[in-house]
Amino acid sequence: MTRTILLPTDGSATARAARHVAAHMARGTGDSVLVFAVAEPADYDGVEDEAVTAAISNYLRQAAEGEAAALRAEGVEATVAVDICSRVDAAILDQARKVGADLIIMGTHGRTGLARAVIGSVADRVLRHSEIPVLLVRLVTQRDAGE
């Protein structure tokens, strides 16, 4: 039985680490990966700057295409989707339902304390509200590894 893995990306090193995990899990099993990017509208005082939103969307599409190409190079079936939405977590969950994903693999930036309280965590909200399993991947730095 093949699965569909949803791999949200924002072009970060943490998202690339999640891609490595997705590739490892999907390689040789016939599982497919949907690389999904969400651009938040560039909104200034209630007015969207459509040119900036388009530029962000284009950047994220290129990042997602790069992740998909890397997956394909490892023998994994990969496709790309990009959405524009002000709630990234909601867009990820909606996409998972839409494609019938069996698993979400995503990076977490590992913020704690005040930074997490102020900025929030898309990964945390996806984890709390997902109806399917979510695997969170944290980028391990040299500092984290105790070096």
What structural domains does the chain harbor?
4-138 (3.40.50.620)
β-bridge mates for residue 59, sequence order: none
Distance CA 111, CA 145 (A): 16
pTM for the full model?
0.87
CB of 22 closer than 8 Å to CB of 8: no
Angle at 27 (CA atoms; ends 22, 30), nearest 5 degrees? 105
Q: What is the pLDDT at residue 115?
A: 47
Chain segment 23-61, per-residue pLDDT in tens: 999 997 889 999 999 999 988 877 878 899 899 999 999
Residues in the chain where the model's pLDDT stays below 70: 1, 110-120, 141-147
Distance CA 80, CA 45 (A): 31
b/e code 13-34 from CB counts within 10 Å (16+ = b): ebbbbbbebbbebbeeeebbbb
Q: What is the pLDDT at residue 130?
A: 96
Amino acid in the structure at residue 32? S
Q: Is 31 helix (H, G, I), strand (E, B) or coil?
A: coil
